[in-house]
Amino acid sequence: MHSRDKTKVRSKNAPKTTLNLTFPAASPAPSLGYRVKYWVTSDPLNVTTTVTPVNSLSVAGLSGTSYSGTVEVNCGGGTYGSPRSFTTVV
C-alpha cells in the first residue's frame, strides 16, 4: 500500500473488548441498584441500557474502543437520580 492509498481494511472478526466501570457508591446504597446507559462514543443514538446491583459493571464482547454513558441511582417507582456522565477507552 502506498501512503496515498486511502483504502481501509476491516476484519469481520475484529477483536472484542470489555468495558469495565467502577463508580462511586451512593450512600445509602440503593436497594434497587443503578441504571447504566452506554454507547460507542461515535454512535450516541445506539444506546444500551442495563442495571447492576453494585457500583461496578463489566460488559464483554464489545467491538468499539471508546464508550460514553451515564450512571443513575434507581430510586424506585420509575424514578432515577441525576445522571453522572462517563467516557472511557477500552
- Over the stretch 27-58, which tens digit does the pLDDT of each residue have? 998 999 999 999 999 999 999 999 999 999 99
Position 64 scores a pLDDT of 81
Degrees to nearest 5, angle at CA 13 with 8 and 18? 105
Please indicate whether residue 5 or residue 39 has the higher confidence score (pLDDT).
Answer: 39
Cα dihedral sign for 27, 85, 35, 74? positive
Position 8 scores a pLDDT of 39
Position 15 scores a pLDDT of 65
Position 22 scores a pLDDT of 93
pLDDT over 70, % of the chain: 83
